Structure 1
Amino acid sequence: MSNFNFDKLNVLGDHIVKEYIPQYFPGFSLSIYENNKESYYVENGFLDIEKKISVSRETIFRIFSMTKPIVSTAAMKLFELRKFDLIDPVTKFIPEWENLEEYKSGSRGKFQVEKLTRPMRILDLFTHTAGLTYALQRVTPVDKEYRRSGIENVVDSRGFHGTKSSDEIINLLAQIPLEFQPGDFYHYSLAIDILGFIIERISNQPLDDYLKENIFKPLGMKDTSFYVDKSSVDRLAPCYRWSEEKGLYEDLDKNKDPKIKYIDFFNKPKVFSGGAGLLSTMKDYQQFGSALLNARLGESNPLVNQETAKLMMVNHLRDGLDMTEISKKPLAGEEYYKGIGFGLGGSVVVDPKKNLNKSYKEDFGWGGAAGTSFFISPQKRYSVVFMTQVLESEENRRLNKDIRNLINSALLN
């Protein structure tokens, strides 16, 4: 039996179409699962504007950072096998980082640094508190050093220009100081890419093979991969960006700008990005989301046991702080993160009263750079996946707020 009023849920679909399609997003799909079954689905608009191809459950999307919850869950399967502990130093698996230091001042070639007061731990990678960063942030001298070293925008492994191995990337990072002492701050970073490299070292498998064996095949996620098969190219949604100057959506796959070469998902990458490298479909990602919900509820699933799922879905940030209270610098859209902490691979609601969204404690999820998002609600026993494909949209956060508020307003109790 569903926990939703479907008349109210239909308001959700109508609202998205009226407020956002096509003026902010060319197309979308959204589904809600309860009890391993789809209880609501809506789609509208185009997968491909030029070819007038409609969005469907089988449309393949670049999910970017929605890769992170999958890879974090994959790592927790190794945790259950006692291959690592959350408090293990990262150097247990990456000895190349034995001499990491903290950045204090100065610029390239003249960095002033301090020794670490404690080792970087595996937990710090899961929660983005390791002291790592992203080159795409382009703010600090450390960000700039990532770019200079060729550790580019790790929106997927093409950010490494396909020329460096994971070992080479690790060795490059060994030469760059951390932004801060591990554990001190939350700072979004390539930490889950590093976790992916650790999975490879522990399992002695490439990350794509490990994920196929332990996540995708058990869940029947046949369309989830690091690159699109030639037979499925027609189902891959172009990645768009709105151009104010041109007054239209630009298809970035056709753009020759070298700054956006990371958009390429047509070829097998040399390095598999655990932080942002996957493609998936609505149908596939809901298999993952509903299985993760089942794990949290103690129901049958091929992922992790209930205790592990509970461990993933509690706030692990220092002193129980939320993301806004512990962030190294102000978060973009900071008001949306009040009352939200960070678990193992995703955000977790710790104080619904502080949050702008209508939410429930332990709601867990994350989103991707091109507007995709997912969350599960253990209290209300449902999972949600939203798919679209527009980079750099200023409407993403408002849309996600609307989705959460309207879904939770449609609950029967």
Structure 2
Amino acid sequence: MTGLRDVLQGYVDDGTLAGAVGLVARGDHVEVEAAGSADLERGTEMARDSIFRIASITKPIVAAAVMMLVDEGRIALDDPVGKWLPELASPMVVRTPQSQIDDVVPAVRPITVEDLLTSRSGHGWPPPELMTVPQVAMLAEQGQQKYGRDPQYVSPPDEWMAAYAEIPLLYQPGEAFLYNTGSDLQGVLIARVTGRTLPDFTAERIFEPLAMEDTGFAVPAAGLGRFTGYYGSGPGGLELLDGPDGQWSTMPAFPSGAGGLVSTADDWLAFARMLLAGGGGLLSPESVRLMTNDHLTPAQRHAGTLYLEGQGWGYGGSVDVERVDPWNVPGRYGWVGGTGTAAHLTPSTGTVTIMLTQLAATSPVQPRQMRDFWQYAAA
């Protein structure tokens, strides 16, 4: 019988991965395995407490931070974001998705807080057939979109927002699911509403209460010995893209709500258990329900198939709505990250699955090692 370590070690042995940590929690029973190297250059072994760049599994955490502000009455889901993000107070929209960037019309309604949470603000990555339109080219050249895995190259939030305001929306607010940008806008929104930086707010309100001691937007000096290297697949094998003393060793000017966090398997498990506990005193049960339920129409899910496989979108993460594969349990919530990470929780069973690797994704389609891990966890 194949065990979790066998699943991970096989991909280390064939050179696909430098290393990985896999975690499957079923109630109080937690199975964790680490395989391979945390950093090939240093020759350090992977361990349960190794720290990873978690990329887009940052998104559910930042959405939870937004919902804390909703619970406190500081913002409402139907509030226009222009109150705090004046750069987006009067957005223009291209007449059709294929139109030139100067062929625009005013938005028919304001962008709301919920539009950001559901990735339907009108900005973001579109279906494949629209990847070459002018508006997407502008996104690709703008700050965080261009340097999503290079946080030290991104402009500070105010400068970043000013540049974003020059890009017309691809769709009217609420009309279409467009990936990624909504989460970065959530991070700026949190900072503007609270008057605090996103790192400070999330540390005080989420990481400290949940004892997520190794989660943040940079790795402190004391943690660099456990910080993993980050690799890409090259013609000669794995190639180092960022070392432990690289871009996450100092705080970035732009802390990305879409993918800027570092964390460990146990830290993300603590976050997942908070959601499974109905908010655990940090969030209201209603906020957890809203986060973990699908808000997309069938047409929006279909148009987002490149990113969503039999899934809808809650707040900050996907929600399984179809049994496309054995691991797709309706109601399973979570997401995947472009640095080779994935984290999900299933409210109906109390199961949490987390896989952390160090390998840059080259496509929105999830790789074989991730699918094998999910297959193991579903068995």
Work out whether residues 345 and 351 of structure 2, in 8 Å CA contact, stay in contact via their aligned partners in 1: yes
Counterpart secondary structure, 2:242: helix
Aligned to 2:266: 283
CA distance in 1, matches of 2:300, 2:34: 34
Work out whether residues 50 and 226 of structure 2, in 8 Å CA contact, stay in contact via their aligned partners in 1: yes
Aligned to 1:158: 151
Q: Is 1:216 matched up with 2:192? A: no
Counterpart secondary structure, 2:37: strand
Amino acid at match of 2:374: R
Counterpart secondary structure, 1:295: coil
Unaligned runs of 5+ in 2: none
> 1:279-324: CA deviations, max 9, x gaps?
111221111122222227xxxx243122221111111113x5563x
Structure 1 residues 157 and 118, CA, compared in 2 at 3 Å: closer, same or farther? farther
Aligned to 1:140: 133
Aligned to 1:347: 318
Q: 1:370-385 to 2 correspondence within 5 Å?
A: 370-385=339-354
CA distance in 2, matches of 1:266, 1:338: 34
Aligned to 2:238: 249
Work out whether residues 21 and 27 of structure 1, in 8 Å CA contact, stay in contact via their aligned partners in 2: no
CA distance in 2, matches of 1:407, 1:225: 27
Aligned to 1:5: none
Aligned to 2:180: 189
Q: 1:247-396 to 2 correspondence within 5 Å?
A: 247-253=236-242, 264-295=247-278, 301-318=280-297, 320-321=298-299, 323=301, 325-327=302-304, 331=306, 337-352=308-323, 355-392=324-361, 396=366
Unaligned runs of 5+ in 1: 1-7, 255-262
Shift of 1:147: 4.4
Work out whether residues 4 and 33 of structure 2, in 8 Å CA contact, stay in contact via their aligned partners in 1: no
Structure 1 residues 30 and 251, CA, compared in 2 at 3 Å: closer, same or farther? same
Equivalenced residue count is: 371
CA distance in 2, matches of 1:38, 1:49: 31
Aligned counterpart in structure 1 of residue 20 of structure 2, from 23, 28, 37:
28
CA distance in 2, matches of 1:208, 1:119: 28
Work out whether residues 102 and 180 of structure 1, in 8 Å CA contact, stay in contact via their aligned partners in 2: yes
Shift of 1:227: 0.9
Q: Is 1:131 matched up with 2:122? A: yes
Amino acid at match of 2:339: A
Fraction of identical pairs, as percent: 28
Counterpart secondary structure, 1:252: strand
> 1:168-221: CA deviations, max 9, x gaps?
222222221011112221111321111111111111111111001100000111
Work out whether residues 90 and 110 of structure 2, in 8 Å CA contact, stay in contact via their aligned partners in 1: no
CA distance in 1, matches of 2:84, 2:340: 33
Counterpart secondary structure, 2:263: strand
Shift of 1:401: 2.5
Work out whether residues 353 and 377 of structure 2, in 8 Å CA contact, stay in contact via their aligned partners in 1: no
The worse-fitting range, judged by mean Cα deviation, of 211-220 and 392-401 is: 392-401
CA distance in 2, matches of 1:69, 1:314: 12
Q: CA RMSD in A?
A: 2.4
Aligned to 1:399: 369
Shift of 1:326: 3.2
Q: 1:50-61 to 2 correspondence within 5 Å?
A: 50-61=41-52
Work out whether residues 157 and 272 of structure 1, in 8 Å CA contact, stay in contact via their aligned partners in 2: no
Q: Is 1:11 matched up with 2:3? A: yes
CA distance in 2, matches of 1:69, 1:88: 20
Q: TM-score, normalised by structure 1?
A: 0.83
Structure 1 residues 202 and 29, CA, compared in 2 at 3 Å: closer, same or farther? same
